[in-house]
Copies of this chain bind each other. A is one copy, B any other.
Amino acid sequence: MEPASVIEALGALAQEHRLAVFRQLVQAGDRGMPAGAIATALDIPNSSLSFHLTQLRNAGLIEQERQHRSLIYRANYPAMNALLGYLTENCCAGSGCEAESACEITVIEGKSA
């Protein structure tokens, strides 16, 4: 994962509504959710939500699929993985991660994606 993508992803999540949207989609799991349901659940005007969904999609954190009249949105777990992987990599790679002061998080799989 390239630094520019990381910044985009972090920036996408660094916003109240977008973090809420992403959490909602993560909880929805593979079924995903239509835009309207998200708007209702989080009480966000349609146009505003659409703006945020676009941001999240540009950052690669969510995916879109048309289903009949609705657009279903889904969290992109691999992208989330890659982001966390990058952060832990940067946390642990350069310094002594064995020390108690350093981070103690391990990526089990998919460090580079």
Interface of A toward B, CB cutoff 8 Å: 3, 6-8, 10-11, 13-16, 19, 22-23, 26-30, 77, 80-81, 83-85, 87-88, 90-91, 94-96, 99, 101-110
Q: Given the complex of chains A and B, what is the CA–CA distance between A23 and B108 in angstroms?
A: 22
Q: Is the CB of B84 within 8 A of A105?
A: yes
Evaluate contact between A104 and B96: CB separation under 8 angstroms: no
**A-B residue pairs in contact (CB < 8 Å), sample of 10:** A3-B19, A6-B19, A7-B16, A7-B19, A10-B10, A23-B94, A26-B95, A28-B95, A81-B103, A104-B109
> Do the beta carbons of B19 and A15 come within 8 Å of each other?
no
- Closest B residue to A76 by beta carbon equals B101
For A29, the chain B residues whose CB sits under 8 A away are: 94-96, 102
The distance in angstroms between the C-alpha atoms of A19 and B89, with both chains bound, is 13
Tell me the minimal C-beta distance from A101 to chain B in angstroms.
6
Residues of B within 8 A of A110 (CB): 104
**A83 partner residues in chain B, CB cutoff 8 A:** 87
Q: Given A84-B103, A105-B107, A95–B10 Cβ distance below 8 Å?
A: no
